[in-house]
Amino acid sequence: MAHEVVLIPGDGIGPEISRAMQRVVEATGVSIAWNVQDAGAAVMETEGTPLPERVLDAIVEARVAIKGPVTTPVGSGFRSINVALRKHFDLFSCVRPCLSQPGDGSRYTDIDLVIFRENTEDLYAGIEFSPNDSEVQTIVDAIVRSGQTPPRPGSALSIKPISEVGSRRIVEAAFAYAECAGRRKVTAVHKANIMKETDGLFLRVAREVAASHPTVAFEDRIVDAACMGLVQDPWSFDVLVMPNLYGDIISDLGAGLIGGLGMAPGANMGQTVALFEATHGSAPDIAGKDRANPTALILSAAMMLDHLGEHAAGSKIREAVRTVLHEGACVTADVRHTQTGSSAGAVGTQAYADAL
């Protein structure tokens, strides 16, 4: 029987990498009934919302979805549909493996990290006030009453919620994965020296969870030092777990260690729904030019196939990616550029998918 999967192609490079991904998944022989649902800026124009109910209903029904990137307007405009989907389905665990492939063009080899990013809280929750919002004065009054220094008049404010429940479940997910996959260490990343209440809570919970998983080593790193360490000696890390915003930033750093954003897959996991997507965005600078690297979305699809119990098909995809990158004759412009300093001789998105 076919697996039902909701596909949100997204915008920018989304539709072209989604097409490449679908072709590669179908070549494994696994039967997928794709339920294609558009969302994003173009849908906003025709349906008045970037994330219509029909998309949410389809995901409830299928429980598994894969999505291309969706553009979020900077500053004013609609809020991120990526954040909305993660919140709506409580997809609290964002899992982003960063694994070197021979031929990925990176300056680094043998990188094997897995990032666990909390996906529903933190400054990413998007609870914000403009300087003119009437609530700002109430918040400033509360800050003054608490004896803390109020923000400068005319400040915009952002609230950073970090909960015990939210912290515990993401750290538990990281340890459960580490135990299951035979990984040696979990590193909690935070800024608890400055944000003593929010990141302090995250770190306290991480230490408690670590104590109940004695077979996996545990350490914590302050986020700035973690960034330096990841650039200087990424091999000293293994599994990393962190609040939302640090996870967003460190995921891109991790992608930079394995050949770039075109290589970095991911999964957003909740209790009932799993949504697979690449780490990267809609790359408007190369959209519609058949230049995007679909590897990140294709490896996200391999994670999805594992989730569906189709491990052999997932492995076939990973093997195909390793082989084609290693051979080096058919690679997209980003990989060719990091390998040689020029994109001459690169192939397009669909030709690369043909090779896979």
Is residue 196 within 8 Å of 165, Cβ to Cβ?
no
Q: Which residue number is nearest to ligand NAD in terms of Cβ?
A: 281
Which one of 248, 252, 290, 354 is the catalytic residue? 248
Which one of 11, 104, 124, 199 is the catalytic residue? 124
Annotated catalytic residue 124: yes
Q: Which of 21, 267, 273, 286 binds ligand NAD (CB under 6 A)?
A: 286
Residue in the block written with tokens 């058949």: 290
Separation CA 302–CA 321 (nearest Å): 11
Is residue 166 within 8 Å of 120, Cβ to Cβ?
yes
Q: Which residues contact 144 (CB under 8 A, 6 or more apart)?
A: 150
Q: Which of 55, 321, 334, 339 binds ligand NAD (CB under 6 A)?
A: 334
Tokens at 244, concatenated: 């939302």
Q: Can you say whether residue 343 is alpha, beta or left, with left for phi > 0 and alpha for psi between -120 and 50 degrees?
A: alpha
Q: Does 11 bind ligand NAD (CB under 6 A)?
A: no
Q: Which residues contact 328 (CB under 8 A, 6 or more apart)?
A: 103, 339
Q: Which residues contact 232 (CB under 8 A, 6 or more apart)?
A: none
Q: Which is nearer to ligand NAD, 68 or 243 (CB)?
A: 68
Residue in the block written with tokens 């039967």: 31
Q: Which is nearer to ligand NAD, 139 or 253 (CB)?
A: 253
Q: Which residues contact 43 (CB under 8 A, 6 or more apart)?
A: 49, 50, 51, 52
Q: Does 280 bind ligand NAD (CB under 6 A)?
A: yes
Is residue 268 within 8 Å of 278, Cβ to Cβ?
no
Q: Does 254 bind ligand NAD (CB under 6 A)?
A: no
Residue 67 Cβ vs ligand NAD, minimum distance, rounded to whole Å: 7
**Kind and range of the H or E element at 66?**
strand 64-67
Q: Does 251 bind ligand NAD (CB under 6 A)?
A: no
Tokens at 63, concatenated: 């429980």
Stretch that binds ligand NAD, among 97-105, 108-116, 157-165, 284-292 (CB under 6 A): 284-292
* Beta pairing class for 93-99 and 112-118: antiparallel
Q: Does 8 bind ligand NAD (CB under 6 A)?
A: no
Give the total of residues touching ligand NAD (CB under 6 A). 20
Q: Does 119 bind ligand NAD (CB under 6 A)?
A: no
Q: Does 239 bind ligand NAD (CB under 6 A)?
A: no
Q: Does 293 bind ligand NAD (CB under 6 A)?
A: yes
Q: Does 166 bind ligand NAD (CB under 6 A)?
A: no
**Which among 273, 268, 270 is positioned nearest to 59, based on CA atoms?**
273
Residue 334 Cβ vs ligand NAD, minimum distance, rounded to whole Å: 4
Amino acid at 349: T
Which one of 133, 141, 224, 289 is the catalytic residue? 224
Distances in whole angstroms, Cα of residue 326 to Cα of each of 165, 233, 260 = 43, 24, 16
Annotated catalytic residue 90: no
Q: Which of 18, 28, 71, 187 binds ligand NAD (CB under 6 A)?
A: 71
Q: Does 75 bind ligand NAD (CB under 6 A)?
A: no
Q: Does 257 bind ligand NAD (CB under 6 A)?
A: no
Annotated catalytic residue 177: no
Q: Which is nearer to ligand NAD, 139 or 287 (CB)?
A: 287
Annotated catalytic residue 108: no
Q: Which of 62, 283, 321, 356 binds ligand NAD (CB under 6 A)?
A: 283
Residue in the block written with tokens 């990281």: 174
Separation CA 343–CA 326 (nearest Å): 17
Q: Which of 166, 262, 265, 314 binds ligand NAD (CB under 6 A)?
A: 262
Q: Does 350 bind ligand NAD (CB under 6 A)?
A: no
Can you give the binding site for ligand NAD, defined by CB under 6 A?
Answer: 13, 69-72, 82, 261-262, 277, 280-286, 292-293, 296, 334
Residues marked active site are found at 124, 191, 224, 248
